[in-house]
Amino acid sequence: MSSFVSNVTFDCADPYSLARFWSQVTGRPIHAECEPGDEEVDVPLSDELNLVFIRVPKGKLEVQ
């Protein structure tokens, strides 16, 4: 049985801004249906791999 990674997910405070940065780094556009203010923003790297940026509360717990 084989497996593969289809999404790499990032928790962040501003998904669209971070997705825009990685879109420029990778040279791949943000998914056409994503807009500023969305809770989840995708940057498709290929037909099988996506970078996914998800909004999380700013008050996340810190590891000490």
pLDDT (tens place) for every residue of the chain, 64 residues total: 888 889 999 999 999 999 999 999 999 999 999 999 999 999 999 999 999 999 998 765 666 6
Residue 48: CB atoms within 10 Å: 10
Chosen CATH of 7-55 out of 1.10.3470, 3.30.720, 3.40.50, 3.30.1490: 3.30.720
Give the global pTM: 0.83
Give me the residue spans of the domains in the chain.
7-55
How far, in Å, are 26, 44, 54, 64 from residue 8 at the CA level? 14, 10, 11, 25
Strand pairing partners for 53?
10, 41
* Helices and strands (H, E) in the chain, number of each type: 1, 3
Name the nearest CA neighbour of 8 among 17, 64, 18: 18
